[in-house]
Amino acid sequence: MKFSKYSAIIIGSGISGLFLANKLSLNNNLSDDVLLITKDELFSGSSALAQGGIVSVIPEINPTDSIESHIKDTIQAGCGLNELNSVKFVSQNSANAAQELIRFGVEFDKNEKNSLNFTLEGAHSCPRILHALGDSTGKVIEKTLCDRLNKLDNVDIYSNTVVVELLVDENNECKGIITYNKLSHSFEAVYSSNIVIATGGIGQIYKNTTNPAVSTGDGIALAYNAGADVENMEFVQFHPTALYCKNKKTMPLVSESARGEGAKLVDLNGDYFAKNYHHQADLAPRDVVARAIIKQMDETDSDFVNLDISQIGIEKFKQRFPTITSLCYENNVDLSSGLIPVAPAQHYFMGGIKVDTNAKTNIKNLYAIGECSSTGLHGANRLASNSLLECVVYAQQLASVIEANLQNPPKKNDAKIKEIIEKYSQIDVNNTETSQILEYFNNLKETMSTYVSIKRNEAGLNKALVEISSLEAKTKRISNSFNYEKYELLNALCVAKLITKAALNRKESIGAHYREDYIPEKQAKKEITQNDKILVE
């Protein structure tokens, strides 16, 4: 087995990981290089798919906005379950995050006065979203960071590589990782005193998701299996408007910005319905809009509703949303009709690896940033365009934390770490994909989409838990050797079980977690009173 050592290891190549690598590269005190690990190639994760934009609160040039207003909107969208210190921290650093991105070369769209152009999205009380090339914000930011990273000589990149285990010793200190390269089929032990998980989301455990194929919850499972705390696992956000496509592994996103510009949701009868569910109508929080669409789909016996863009104007829409326009053409959607078929799809994960405002986990030297982490910012429901902001702000903060820890090289291996390394030195690799693994993965997707989706109840969640546990046991019996597809499925099953257990434990409906069998306390008392009255009579 090969052994190597780095000043810092970043697992994941989305915007959080890329930004952190770029920040650390500026440090002149690195004793060793920085290692960035990506499961596929650079530019293969969720960040590049982010269309809407990034929140930036800059009252000096956007006087309708304020820190207080953004904090209020974030907490309202999160149903009050947000961690207040995290919300304040992120909002107060949002202007600096935008400035840092601009310094790295990101070009945000400007208005006719050549000033930053702020747009409106759902549940925001004023326009505060920066975007790039219309609806290509994530792609522009990620490409800019990748281009800069590729020119650096103190950052190594391991592509087509996954981390199969963390090297956590008997004192609960992370000393490094074990990697597996999908092309060479080889393991490597990599040491560092700074290990960062930035692996993104969990979308592929559902049938319908906006997430790419690599989003199987690997980082969360990796941390949890090593003893890291996780939280808020029941809060899975379903974006109301993904482009309706049959039998696609990933459903393209139709950004909320389209509704911010004036697009309206209509059912297949042409009826405008969002106003019937919330006073903010099409721009209500995402969980409200997603449930409204599901209800409308049920009532019209359809698999989708339509986004009516005619009020924006077809040509103006094409200019403002070039990415969505291209996606529509690629999927044979005729924009001249003024209607885009959309349906809810799993989009974002509010839960994950529990961290503090320094991105620290409960395991020493182990950190988490981006979607795989739970900072407390989002509460029960993420406010639109807060995710890219969270990625940059926490990566920026973590860079300073790591810089203070650079002079602490890993100590010698203890018995626990030696045992882990010995296991991977002797393990066989079976690279043959089995039809069983694909079948089990599809079974998992079906189970989660049926019982642990937008609407949930206790009976369904219990069925899901039984099925997930059964799939987990059957998967483990497939082979004693290491298999990449099996590794990915076991990670997905681990995360699915954590989500389902958390959904069972939270009896009430709040935010993205909606229990059909939930009876509010006042309603329950009223029903009991009526029953008692009947008994007395």
State the catalytic residues. Answer: 286
Residue 305, strand partner residues:
342
Distance CA 226, CA 233 (A): 17
As to burial, measured by CB atoms within 10 angstroms (0-12 exposed, 13-18 middle, 19+ buried), residue 247 is: exposed
Closest by CA to 233, choosing from 536, 497, 523, is 497
| Alpha-helix residue ranges (DSSP H) falling in 49-191 | 67-77, 84-92, 94-103, 137-149
DSSP conformation letters of 392-439: HHHHHHHHHHHHTTTT-------HHHHHHHHHHHH--B--PPPHHHHH
Distance CA 529, CA 537 (A): 12
| Structure tokens belonging to residue 240 | 């109301």
Task: Write the CA distances from 108 to 105, 255, 272, integer angstroms.
Answer: 10, 17, 33
As to burial, measured by CB atoms within 10 angstroms (0-12 exposed, 13-18 middle, 19+ buried), residue 27 is: middle
Instruction: Return the DSSP state at 251.
Output: P
Under 8 Å CB-to-CB from 46, ≥6 apart: which residues? 14, 138, 200, 201, 203, 210, 211, 212, 215, 371
- Dihedral pair phi/psi, residue 417, rounded to 5°: -70, -40
Amino acid at residue number 512: A
Q: Which helix (H) or strand (E) holds 230?
A: strand 230-231
Under 8 Å CB-to-CB from 100, ≥6 apart: which residues? 19, 392, 396
- Dihedral pair phi/psi, residue 460, rounded to 5°: -65, -40
Place of tokens 């999205």: 121
Q: How far is CA 399 from the centre of its chain?
A: 21
Distance CA 366, CA 434 (A): 34
Residue 170: CB atoms within 10 A of its CB come to 9
Place of tokens 């046991």: 473
The strand order across the sheet containing 161-168 reads 2-5, 186-191, 174-181, 161-168
Distance CA 104, CA 326 (A): 28
As to burial, measured by CB atoms within 10 angstroms (0-12 exposed, 13-18 middle, 19+ buried), residue 95 is: middle
| Structure tokens belonging to residue 536 | 């007395």
Kindly state the greatest CA–CA separation across the chain.
84
Instruction: For CA atoms 487, 448, 353, 8, give the dihedral sign.
Output: positive
